[in-house]
């Protein structure tokens, strides 16, 4: 079964490189010919579900593109991202997780992150990863946080799309 995981990762990486998210104009100018370490780690740890550019099916997983930066507008939202189980338990160092989170928030999140938002560092990530969100109903926790971001901090209603997606019955899966 382990070889299957490796094969899936290799296939995903090959597909990603063939359909490279590096803009053709950057490659043509020679300014961008490879992925950063953070982009590579995002691809391997997150891109399968959240999409290569953070644009995913909001019925299945939360959309990151243009939205994820809103979480940094509150201390609770800032803490939420590194405490998510898939992030907290990722097989990456705290520095690597900080780099991936900064890529997600500031690159994929675009204008949703305020200009004065502080990037994550390894120490902060280590602190929050030690307190993963495993003892709460994650969906209810996220809904409450998203409601606060929309009601008090001007986040767009699209941030709520994942929470309002219909849950498929077992016969529809």
Q: How confident is the model at residue 116, as a pLDDT?
A: 96
145 φ, ψ to 5°?
-65, -45
CA distance linking residue 116 with residue 150, whole number of Å: 19
pTM: 0.78
Q: What's the burial of 103, exposed, middle or buried (CB within 10 Å: 0-12/13-18/19+)?
A: buried
Q: How confident is the model at residue 162, as a pLDDT?
A: 85
Task: Taking the CA atoms of 141, 148, 109 and 122 in sequence, report the sign of the dihedral they define.
Answer: negative
Contact 149, 155 (CB under 8 A): yes
CA distance linking residue 157 with residue 137, whole number of Å: 22
Task: Taking the CA atoms of 95, 100, 103 and 105 in sequence, report the sign of the dihedral they define.
Answer: negative
Contact 162, 120 (CB under 8 A): no
CA distance linking residue 158 with residue 83, whole number of Å: 22
Q: How confident is the model at residue 167, as a pLDDT?
A: 53
Q: How confident is the model at residue 136, as a pLDDT?
A: 86
Q: Is 30 helix (H, G, I), strand (E, B) or coil?
A: coil
CA distance linking residue 32 with residue 25, whole number of Å: 9
In 3D space, the residue among 172, 168, 149 whose CA is nearest the CA of residue 59 turns out to be: 168
Q: Residue 98's Cα: distance from chain center in Å?
A: 12
Contact 8, 14 (CB under 8 A): no
Q: For the chain, which ranges sit under pLDDT 70? A: 1-32, 165-173
Residue extents of the structural domains in the chain: 1-34, 35-165
Q: How confident is the model at residue 71, as a pLDDT?
A: 98
Q: Is 141 helix (H, G, I), strand (E, B) or coil?
A: helix
35-165 belongs to which homologous superfamily? Answer: Cytochrome c-like domain (1.10.760.10)
Q: How confident is the model at residue 31, as a pLDDT?
A: 60
Q: How confident is the model at residue 164, as a pLDDT?
A: 78
CA distance linking residue 153 with residue 90, whole number of Å: 29
């Amino acid at each position: 079964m382990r070889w299957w995981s490796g094969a899936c990762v290799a296939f995903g990486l090959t597909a990603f490189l063939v359909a490279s998210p590096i803009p053709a104009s950057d490659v043509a100018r020679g300014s961008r010919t490879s992925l950063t370490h953070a982009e590579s780690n995002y691809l391997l740890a997150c891109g399968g579900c959240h999409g290569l550019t953070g644009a995913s099916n909001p019925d299945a997983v939360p959309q990151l593109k243009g939205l994820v930066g809103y979480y940094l507008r509150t201390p609770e939202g800032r803490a939420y991202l590194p405490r998510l189980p898939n992030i907290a338990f990722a097989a990456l160092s705290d520095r690597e997780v900080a780099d991936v989170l900064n890529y997600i928030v500031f690159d994929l999140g675009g204008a949703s992150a305020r200009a004065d938002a502080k990037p994550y560092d390894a120490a902060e990530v280590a602190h929050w990863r030690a307190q993963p969100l495993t003892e709460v109903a994650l969906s209810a926790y996220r809904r409450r946080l998203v409601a606060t971001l929309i009601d008090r901090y001007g986040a767009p209603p699209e941030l709520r799309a994942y929470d309002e997606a219909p849950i498929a019955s077992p016969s529809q899966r």
